[in-house]
Amino acid sequence: MRFGNLAALALAALAMILAVASSSVAWSQADEDRQIADSLAAMLRAGRAVISSSQDRINDPALGPKGLDGATVLARTVEIYQHTTGVDPRSIDPASRAGRLLNDEMQAIKSVMDANQLSIDAQGTGFKGFIPAVFSRLVGEAFSHIANGEAEMRVTAPPDLVRNRKSRPDAWELDIIKTKFLAPGWPAGQSVESRADQGGHMIFRIAVPEYYVATCLSCHGSPKGQTDITGYPMEGASLGDLGGVISIKLLH
């Protein structure tokens, strides 16, 4: 009896230790996933900033070559990334999951720019349709392809704002947009994440809200319905409205 009690106690203690150990494994895994997703989002934003600051140059019909080849845009992107995050992406071990995925994204940025050189460098055309949103969509597609099932990244938006059908939110994104990001009182900028087991694989997802700033409204603002420079009808959005969501999936 005494022995039975002791054994039961020892078992209970062991179970507790195991529970704590496995929850701390899950915890550090979630931490790593979040860090990786943050770095992927920061790299996308850095690249987008480079395109945004080059927009007048890209749109200039008088200019031929714009000097925005893949290597140049990537170098500038890395500079901005380093400035905003305080981390040199080249210092991250390329063999680690974090380093590999970040490198995949850097590769994607380079390839998207190289693939669009001809149209960007075209002389005699003003607006060429190469804007930060298109860059983001193409980088997301290229990255998801290069990461080959290990990660996916895209930028989506509330359904009534979506311009490109490829960027429509999926069920998970839609639910978060409706019940969280658009809910009154949702803290601006707060992201939402989830971990779920899908057929034996752990999937980490994170959605990061983004809001319209003044420069967005020349296309997404008013008068609602009037065609903007890109040929889309303006949405009538206001400063600070939820404009989009960076959505990242990491698969284990």
Binding stretches for ligand HEC (CB under 6 A): 131, 133-134, 137, 155, 157, 161-164, 167, 210, 212-213, 215-216, 218-220, 228-230, 232, 243-244
Please identify the residue of the shown chain whose CB is closest to the bound ligand HEC.
244
CB of 220 to ligand HEC, least distance (A): 6
Question: What DSSP letter does each residue of 9-47 carry, written as one string?
Answer: HHHHHHHHHHHHHHHHHHHHHHHHHHHHHHHHHHHHHHH
CB of 116 to ligand HEC, least distance (A): 13
Residue placing its CB nearer to ligand HEC in the complex, 111 or 136: 136
Q: Please say whether the beta carbons of 209 and 190 come within 8 A.
A: yes
Collapsed DSSP state (helix, strand, coil) of residue 176? helix
Residue placing its CB nearer to ligand HEC in the complex, 2 or 165: 165
CB of 246 to ligand HEC, least distance (A): 8
Residue placing its CB nearer to ligand HEC in the complex, 20 or 213: 213
CA dihedral (170, 174, 175, 181) positive or negative: positive
CA dihedral (100, 101, 106, 111) positive or negative: positive
CB of 59 to ligand HEC, least distance (A): 9
15: exposed, middle or buried (Cβ count in 10 Å: 0-12, 13-18, 19+): exposed
Residue placing its CB nearer to ligand HEC in the complex, 89 or 245: 245
Could you tell me which of 54, 77, 97 has the C-alpha nearest to residue 139?
Answer: 77
Residue placing its CB nearer to ligand HEC in the complex, 89 or 212: 212
- How many Cα neighbours within 13 Å face the side chain of 185? 0
Residue placing its CB nearer to ligand HEC in the complex, 48 or 76: 48
CB of 140 to ligand HEC, least distance (A): 10
Residue placing its CB nearer to ligand HEC in the complex, 35 or 190: 190
SS3 content of the chain, % helix, strand, coil (to 5): 55, 15, 30
CB of 23 to ligand HEC, least distance (A): 36
Which pair of structure tokens corresponds to residue 73? Answer: 């845009």
CA distances from 138 to 59, 128, 150, 241 (A): 19, 15, 18, 24
CB of 138 to ligand HEC, least distance (A): 8
